[in-house]
Amino acid sequence: MLEHFPVLIIIIPLIAGALCALARNEVVCWWLTFVVTVVCFVGAVTMLNLVQDGGTISYAMGGWLPPIGIEYRVDLLTAYLLILISLMAGIVHVYGRRLVQVEIDEDLRGWYYGMYLLCFCGLMGIVITGDAFNAFVFMEVSSLSMYVLIALGRDKRALAASFQYLIMGTIGATMYVIGVGLLYIQTGTLNMIDLGVRLESHLTEPTAIAGMAFIIVGLSLKLALFPLHLWLPNAYAYAPSATTAFIAATATKVSIYLLARYLYTVFGFDFAILSTPVPEVVLVVSIAAMFAGSFIAIFQDNIKRMLAYSSVAQIGYITLGFSLASIDGLTGSLVHIFNHAMMKGALFMLVGGIALQLGSVRLKDMAGIGREMPWTMAGFVIAGASMLGVPGTVGFVSKWYLALGALEFGAWWIVALLVISSLLVLAYMGRVVEVAYFRPRPDGAATLQDPPKIMLLMAWLLIAGCVYFGISTDFTLGTARDAANALIGTAP
């Protein structure tokens, strides 16, 4: 059975999603989803072990060998992301039960979990596939379910946000398909590895370059790289809180993964990074994202929107590492994918708890809640410190490696910019802390409590992760470093 793991961890959520749609019973669906996420997490960890021991796993779908059929390909980076996605899906799922009961209509809850599973399945499918077109199909599975999950928000603005995301997401996916089409016309294959091999002699031809441009732009739309981020803030802000926590931690990460896959595996490090203007463009855009995102975040009154803009900035950090053309820089990026998912996941989960208890996520309503919701706000402070990059937290680890990469790149000014942008993080995180701890509760306001224990527990699990992986970096940093080595090393 072990050799079928790659397909099983995609197919089990898919089948479970269909079963949820049939069952419609909230309790049944909840437990089913819970079991599925646990199974997938265990499967993902097993696969990481297998890959570490025996090298890349290739699974031929339908028994047709790769260029003919569709291939599932698990290497270090893939397993690393599979673990991240299934871990976040499981934690957010356990956390979200109470929120779903509050935010989703009763007769839709079973379907909500079905949708959640489909989204999970789509995201995992994008990561694990070794076929360019198959990635598109699963991208659509995850996107369509995400549009629905977002549109279920109670605020009517969730609908408009979801529509905007649908339009921009579909443009992005279509651009991606155009790019894949151009590469396919040039090479006659859709398998990523085969594409990489066959493109080698065509790389300087216009078709390959245009194909690369379309793929990069399309994926940038999906991953909300700075000027193309317009869909993200509204989608995060108005989606149901449990949805926000899940997609903020996983969705953009998957597109980032795919981008890395194309830049390093298909086009190759030597070409994409060393001999095209891609890194320069990405560098400029990433720095713009870091500053614009953080800067806009400072002026947000809605905390979810603030964190969403902060995500735009953090995505900038991740793509920055791609442009630094060094193993340290890429390691920083990959490690930050994991770290940012934990920090942002924790923050959105805590904000979901605040929304549940306070009934609002506006900063002005949060005055003085620090004393009434001690665990929530303490978690907020720790995760915020991690965003800032305080030593001993995961945020520090990623920034340290990005800085090392920048030094290797020979650019002191990037390090300086990293520090300055961290100050912006201090500004918006500090604002929340200041309001929550140092302003008095308005007179006559009802006393608040921390959200239910299970929600806190799940959020604190991630916060503990933020600290643990900030000190013991074996798993995250080690895997990321090996993956970065493999990406740059195997480049044709």
Partner 1 sequence: MKHHLILLVVSKLLIPFLLLFAFYVQMHGDFGPGGGFQAGAIAAAAIVLYTLIFGRRAAEKAVPPRIVEAGIPLGVLVFAGVGVANLLMGGNYLEYNAFNPAHPVEGQHLGIILVEAGVFITVFCTLVTIFNTFARRGR
Partner 2 sequence: MEDLGFLGVIGHINQWITVFLIMAGLYIIVARSNMIKKLVGLSIFQTSVYLLYISPGKIIDGTAPILSPEWDTYSNPLPHVLILTAIVVGVATLALGLSLVVRINEAYGSIEEDEIYKDDAD
Partner 3 sequence: MTLAVIGVRNLFGLVVLSGAYSFIMATLLIAMDAVDVGMTEAAVGAGVSTVLLLSALHLARTEEAPGKVFQPVAAILALVTGAALIYGTWGLPLYGDPDGPIHHHVAPYYIEQTPEEMGMPNIVTAVLSSYRGYDTLGETTVIFTAGLGVMMLLRGRRRDGGKPKKGGQRRDDDKKDEA
- Residues 429, 384: contact at Cβ < 8 Å? yes
Question: Which of 312, 315, 296 lies closest to 427 in space, CA to CA?
Answer: 296
Q: Which is nearer to partner 3, 115 or 397 (CB)?
A: 115
Region 4-23 residues binding partner 1, contact defined as CB under 8 A = 4, 7, 11, 14-15, 17-19, 21-22
Q: Is 174 in the site for partner 2 (CB under 8 A)?
A: yes
List of residues 6+ apart from 358 with CB closer than 8 A: 365, 366, 369, 448
Of 182 and 406, nearer to partner 3 (C-beta) is: 182
Which amino acid would we find at residue 262? Y
Shortest spacing between CB 234 and partner 3, in angstroms: 13
Which of partner 2, partner 1, partner 3, none does 187 bind, CB closer than 5 to 8 A by kind?
Answer: partner 3
The distance of closest approach from Cβ of residue 76 to partner 3 in the complex, given in angstroms and rounded to an integer, is: 23
How far apart are alpha carbons 370 and 392 in whole angstroms?
23
CA distances, 143 to each of 115, 222, 228, 242, 268 (Å): 11, 9, 16, 17, 27
Shortest Å distance, C-beta 211 to partner 1: 28
| Residue closer to partner 1 (CB basis): 44 or 335 | 44
Looking at the Cβ atoms of 105 and 489, the one nearer to partner 3 is 105
Quick one: which of 39, 160, 356, 433 contacts partner 2 (CB under 8 A)?
Answer: 160
Where b means 16+ CB within 10 Å and e means fewer, 271-292 reads bbbeebebbeebbebbbebbbb
Q: Does 361 bind partner 3 (CB under 8 A)?
A: yes
Task: Tell how many helices (H) and how many strands (E) occur in the chain.
Answer: 19, 2
At residue 362, the 3 state secondary structure works out as strand
Q: How far apart are CA 219 and CA 297, in angstroms?
A: 24
Given 78, 86, 142, 162, the residue binding partner 2 (CB under 8 A):
162
Nearest to 250 by CA among 126, 84, 32: 84
Q: Does 178 bind partner 2 (CB under 8 A)?
A: yes
CB of 109 to partner 2, least distance (A): 18
Q: How many residues bind partner 1 (CB under 8 A)?
A: 16
By CB under 8 A, residue 163 contacts partner 2: yes
98 binds partner 3 (CB under 8 A): no
Residues 243-302 close enough to bind partner 3 by CB under 8 A: 302
Q: Which residue is associated with the tokens 């961890």?
A: 9
CA dihedral sign of residues 94, 95, 97, 100: negative
CB 452 → partner 3: shortest distance, Å? 16
Task: Give the span between the Cα atoms of 150 and 313, in whole angstroms.
Answer: 21
| Separation CA 139–CA 18 (nearest Å) | 18
Residue with tokens 């779908």: 61
- Shortest separation between residue 228's beta carbon and partner 3, angstroms: 12
Three-class secondary structure of residue 169 per DSSP: helix
Residue 59 interface partner, choices partner 2, partner 3, partner 1, none, CB cut-off 5-8 Å depending on type: partner 1
C-beta atoms surrounding 185 within 10 Å: 10
- In which residue are the tokens 């920055």 written? 320
CA nearest 479: which of 79, 9, 50? 79
- Convert residues 120-149 into a mask of x (bound to partner 2 by CB under 8 A) and - (unbound): -------------x--xx--x---x--xx-
170 near partner 2, judged by CB under 8 A: yes
- 457 forms beta bridges with none
> Mask of contacts with partner 1, 98-137, x by CB under 8 A?
----------------x-----------------------
478 interacts with partner 2 by CB under 8 A: no
Residue window 36-75: x/- pattern of binding to partner 3, with contact defined by CB under 8 A: -------------------------xx-x--xxxx-----
Say whether residue 295 binds partner 2 (CB under 8 A): no
Which of partner 3, partner 2, partner 1, none has residue 4 at its interface (CB below 5 to 8 Å by kind)? partner 1
- In terms of Cβ atoms closer than 10 Å to its own Cβ (0-12, 13-18, 19+), residue 299 is exposed
Buried b (16+ CB within 10 A) or exposed e, 405-443: bbbebeeeebbebbeebbebbbebbebbbebbeeeebee
Residue numbers at the binding site for partner 3 (CB under 8 A): 14, 18, 21, 61-62, 64, 67-70, 102-103, 105-108, 111-112, 114-115, 118, 121, 125, 133-134, 137-138, 140-141, 144-145, 147-148, 151-152, 154-156, 178, 182, 184-190, 198, 205-207, 209-211, 213-214, 238, 302, 304, 355, 359-362
Residues lying near partner 1 in the complex (CB under 8 A) are found at 4, 7, 11, 14-15, 17-19, 21-22, 59-63, 114
Contacting residues toward partner 2, per CB under 8 A:
133, 136-137, 140, 144, 147-148, 151, 156-157, 159-160, 162-163, 166-167, 170-171, 174, 177-178, 181-182, 184-185, 190
